[in-house]
Amino acid sequence: MVTAFLGRWKMVKVVEIVCLLLAGIILVIWKQTNNPIVANLLMQVVLVISFVPSAIRIKQLKERQKSLPWIFATVAYVFMTIALLVDTQGFKPFQLVNPLVPGIGGNGLLAYLAYRQEKILRKSAR
């Protein structure tokens, strides 16, 4: 909603359309199988794919990002993982997929790339 007021709308790219279609297919699979575990695991694939365009644009220095928000997001997923691991009632391995793969993996990758970008831009500004 904020982007509407700030005028920062971006054109929807192919990856976003693919992610939306995959999410729709997963919704149908979830409805047909009535198995939220399978739907959740499949959704993690969509979440990983959704990080790819941002990672590419940050790596190519086509999109400026600050590393701090990505670092905070990664730390939040680290805490989520710790909470699952120390849960006294135990956990099932599939519950770790979300915080580890897109959470720590995706956000951590973008945090690293944004930090690297900040260093490159600081060097070039000198």
User: 3-state class of 60 per DSSP?
Assistant: coil
Which residues contact residue 65 at a Cβ distance below 8 angstroms, ignoring those fewer than 6 apart?
54, 58, 110, 113, 114, 117
| 114 pLDDT higher than 90 | yes
**5 in a structural domain:** no
Which residues contact residue 119 at a Cβ distance below 8 angstroms, ignoring those fewer than 6 apart?
none
CA angle 72, 27, 21 (to 5 degrees): 80
Eight-class DSSP state of 106: I
**1 in a structural domain:** no
Which one-letter amino acid corresponds to residue 97? V
Q: How many domains does the chain divide into?
A: 1
Distance CA 90, CA 42 (A): 23
Alpha helices in the chain (DSSP H): 2-6, 14-33, 36-59, 67-85, 97-98, 107-125
Summarised one tens digit per residue, pLDDT across range 1-37 is 455 566 666 666 788 888 889 989 988 988 888 888 8
Q: Which whole number is the average pLDDT over 38-63?
A: 87
**2 in a structural domain:** no
Q: Which domain holds residue 68?
A: 10-125
Distance CA 35, CA 86 (A): 26
Query: Up-side HSE of residue 39: CA atoms within 13 Å toward CB?
Result: 14
**100 in a structural domain:** yes
pLDDT for 92 equals 84
What pTM does this model have? Answer: 0.78
